[in-house]
Amino acid sequence: MSSEISIEITPNRYNYSNIQLALPWDREEVIAELEKENWNPYGAETAVKHDAWLGKRFKLHRPKSPMLQQIINFFALDSTRDYLIECLYRDKPILGINWQMYPWRMSMNTILHAEFSKDLPGFENGVHCDMRRLVGTGLIYLADGDNPDLSSAFYDHPDRHNPSRVKTGYGTGWVHSNDWNSWHDGWNRTDQTRYSILLGLTLKLEHQPTGDDNPDKPVVPSNLLNQG
């Protein structure tokens, strides 16, 4: 087994590509580390405290485990982000027209991050397109083989026309460029926990939202108002 972390992205359909993550650890080792962590409810990790899955989805952004942190760090690399962007443009040529950016400009204006997800039995994420700040997203399963009951699917329409289910497995998953018609859903219809790695290619904003935001606009000290 290689001592390096790597990914390979291959074309599939117009609305998503396949991704394969290679890790230098067995699945059992990674799951054991995930089970030691302290997980936060999904809503506690969002900027506007939205949580549609109370008690069903949990998040981990800052793991204590050095092993898990290595995975987070890999996806934070510029080279990983640039490769992912290159593949998104390759697999969906209209991306450059939609955003009016060449891949190199998109790299300058985005951040790629990874976070761990823990979805309990009964988790259902209905058909949706992703939020506007996301140029692209991905999901990498940490599953033991292909299981249709803890998977995701992509569609041509919010009424689930022309479904394409993504195969699951250890390090197997999908990545896509967020668009008006990138309809997809996901679920855990088993009696086991679904662990995965969620990827977000996010636009850089001058005033980026954070999990510490609240409805009241912060008061800027007067001595900072005129500073550029």
Radius of gyration of the chain from its Cα atoms, rounded to whole angstroms = 18
Token pair for residue 41?
A: 């409810």
* CB distance 89 to 103 below 8 Å: yes
Q: Give residue 106's region: left, alpha or beta (phi > 0; psi -120 to 50).
A: alpha
Strand partners, 223: none
Task: Write the CATH number for 93.
Answer: 2.60.120.620
Is position 32 within any domain? yes
* CB distance 195 to 118 below 8 Å: yes
Specify the pLDDT at position 33.
98
Specify the pLDDT at position 222.
59
Query: In terms of C-beta distances under 8 Å and separation of at least 24 residues, what long-range contacts does 98-103 make, across chains too?
Result: 98/179, 99/135
User: What is the DSSP-derived secondary structure letter of residue 214?
Assistant: -
**H/E stretch holding 89:** helix 78-91
Q: Rounded CA gap, 209 and 22, in Å?
A: 32
Is position 133 within any domain? yes
pTM comes to: 0.89
Is position 74 within any domain? yes
Tally of domains within the chain: 1
Is position 139 within any domain? yes
Among 72, 76, 48, 51, smallest CA distance to 60 is for: 72
* CB distance 80 to 74 below 8 Å: yes
Among 65, 68, 64, 59, smallest CA distance to 24 is for: 68
Tens of pLDDT along the chain (228 residues)?
Answer: 557 999 999 999 988 999 999 999 999 999 999 999 999 998 777 766 776 777 899 999 999 999 999 999 999 999 999 999 999 999 999 999 999 999 999 999 999 999 999 999 999 999 999 988 999 999 999 999 999 999 999 999 999 999 999 999 999 999 999 988 899 999 999 999 999 999 999 999 877 777 778 788 777 665 555 555
Is position 141 within any domain? yes
Among 73, 78, 96, smallest CA distance to 4 is for: 73
Measured in degrees and rounded to the nearest 5, phi and psi for residue 135 equal: -75, -35
**Which residue range(s) make up the domain with 177?**
6-224
Is position 26 within any domain? yes
Is position 1 within any domain? no
Is position 49 within any domain? yes
Rounded (to 5) percent helix, strand, coil in the chain:
25, 35, 45
